[in-house]
Structure 1
């Protein structure tokens, strides 16, 4: 293939997006629209990319340069060209071409608000362009949904492309055509200046349509080729919040597809949300309505039953996350079980074979291997040694109104139900705490501590009470 340069049209205002910022600076769930496009464009290894800016150009250019400094497209030369007056896509392409006066090769024209284009599709377009020795090649699609796109008009006998007519300028018969134009072109540098100079603004919008270069090419005997797609998701542009939602849905669909292909099982894939930097190993099972966010790592053999929220946490291997669990900034060790309806807050660290049950909250605490806290418990600012059992209703009173204090429970301890541990306090190895106790000082190793008053029984008290009434 010969040399490649790319023009990205990114001057649009995006009024329907409703936020008053340039359209290409709106963000998907990953990054800005323009960053999506430039990342894909730079993967083609062009000599240079020219970004045509317009509305609030300074913000657009600053975001691109920031992304470049962060390494997204660090090895690609990126230039900017300013479209001061919004006079259509053809006029924008003219602005971009000014930065390519000395370039000789193929010029690829992309849009800054079409973020889902695949590298494979653009490579296929360039391959077709060169194999057909075309002056102009485009991507078309067979679609019943992309009705706002221009229609491809072909010669009825030869099938050759004659022109593209924008949807708003179509006759009723032309509007029914199913082959639509994506607006993405590969054009020879020797042909593009002539084609752009030929553009007229005699249309409904009084703009210079880039699509008119197709009619110019066909009318002057130049070869026009088309790469025709039958799935149109990657051609989706963004002109409204609703369309941005479609983009996000497709991004998630692609992520889930990669995970499924790698051996991750999802019981209801469409209800699973996975962030870009999440790592999920093969053999994980994910139930419905699960969100996995941030830089979470889910290790092999882990089962997430569903209705879970996991953020910046490491889970497993072979852990069990039961229904209705929230885990944030935490570590769950191998074969540990959490839930149902449990909450692991930041800096909760569970060792191996730990059991955290229903309505248990753990915050900034380390629970060593084999610890069990099965019901209705709060462990905050605590250390719990291996194989300790925490009874139902136990809480660590870690806050005195001014400072947080630590509770230490050494290994093999047994804490009875409904216990209050008033920090700072230490329970030594193997100690037992009687149910319903309030512990305010250190309990020695192997000791039993309890603070509840003695049980009193008054026989016949109920009958006497009723007699008085």
Structure 2
């Protein structure tokens, strides 16, 4: 296994209900090939040999915990579910004495490659960034958050529901995968508001907060959209399964 040059912890967002998946299973446990979505992410994270891995669970959490039993995972409960910023805050207790980097992944983004995660961690380390995020260009960005740049540097992420027409025309999207300086992010989470279209605590707000504090933000663009495609519908799951497994 590849080891890292700095202490790294992983948080996997796995609290979603997955209403559009048309399944009795929680979204994280919907099958992709021979294993559930979340296991693809757990296995990718494991190649990094992290100090700890925390799964944030919510909907049908006992079922998710049972499936992940024996995987060396710490569980944090998000109830109610008030957004991605709130989800990471729910994991804060597990990182109480942790100093290092927190890698945030999503259970419904199963195609992410370990090499891509290592590149993101390396970019954060080399730039000493408070935040490193994975981005990608998409011809049809749809519901993905847009990356706002100025002078080539990432300044903010604007969620599609909150974006202006001009911002919606931006093709660089946020993949929802981050590497944070632990001390910075857990200190900043309490400052996130929820005055937005969804009334949620957006983890994406951390980018603009870091910039406002004069901290470094590293945006790492990849040229492989398939790696960061999220799964929200049965059709998206089927398409991803065909792409990943040739089915």
Above 0.5 in TM-score? Answer: yes
Aligned to 1:132: 127
Question: Deviation of residue 169 (structure 1)?
Answer: 0.8
* 1:89 positional shift: 0.6
CA distance in 1, matches of 2:34, 2:119: 25
- Which residue of the partner structure matches residue 209 of structure 1? 202
Tell whether 2:32 aligns with 1:37.
Answer: no
TM-score by length of 2: 0.96
Report the CA distance between 1:30 and its aligned residue. 2.5
Matched, 1:60 2:31: no
**1:118 — aligned with what?**
113
- How many residues align? The count is 243
Q: Give the Cα–Cα distance (whole angstroms) in 1 for the partners of residues 126 and 53 of structure 2.
A: 23
> After superposition, where does 1:264-283 map in structure 2 within 5 Å?
273=247
Cα deviation digits, residues 142-197 of structure 1 (max 9, x gap)? 11133211000011xx2211100001111001000011001111001110112211
Where do residues 220-235 of structure 1 align in structure 2 (5 Å cutoff)? Answer: 220-235=213-228
Q: Secondary structure of the equivalent of 1:93?
A: helix
In structure 2, runs of 5+ residues without a counterpart are none
* Whole-Å separation in 2 of the counterparts to 1:176 and 1:38: 34
Q: Distance in 2 between matches of 1:149 and 1:63?
A: 29
Q: Is the 8 A contact 1:50 1:80 kept in 2?
A: yes
Residues 140 and 171, structure 2, Cα contact 8 Å, conserved in 1: no
Counterpart of 1:26 in structure 2 is 30
Among 11, 15, 20, which residue is 1:16 paired with?
A: 20
Superposition RMSD on alpha carbons, in Å?
1.0
The whole-number CA distance in structure 2 between the counterparts of 1:231 and 1:168 is: 24
Q: Report the counterpart of residue 190 of structure 2 in structure 1.
A: 197
Choose between structure 1 and 2: higher helix proportion: 2
Partner of 1:147: 142
Is 2:99 the counterpart of 1:95?
no
The answer for the alignment partner of 2:11 in structure 1 is 7
Runs of 4+ in structure 1 off by over 6 angstroms are none
Higher RCO, 1 or 2 (CA under 8 Å, sep at least 6)?
A: 2
CA distance in 2, matches of 1:183, 1:195: 17
Contact 1:143 1:230 in 2 (8 A): no
State the TM-score, normalized to the length of structure 1. 0.51
Instruction: Flag the structure with larger Rg.
Output: 1
Distance in 2 between residues matched to 1:234 and 1:159, nearest whole Å: 24
Q: For residues 98 and 149 of structure 1, what CA distance do their matches in structure 2 show?
A: 29
Q: 1:47 aligned to 2:51?
A: yes
**The residue matched to 2:112 in structure 1 has which SS?**
coil
- Once the two structures are superposed, the pairs formed by residues 269-418 of structure 1 within 5 Å of their partners are 273=247
What SS is found at the alignment partner of 1:50?
strand
Distance, in Å, in 2 between the alignment partners of 1:97 and 1:50 is 10
Q: Aligned with 1:19: secondary structure?
A: coil
Distance 1:198 1:243 in 2: 34
Q: Residue deviations 1:396-455, cap 9 Å, x none?
A: xxxxxxxxxxxxxxxxxxxxxxxxxxxxxxxxxxxxxxxxxxxxxxxxxxxxxxxxxxxx
Counterpart CA distance in 2 for 1:145 and 1:98 is 38
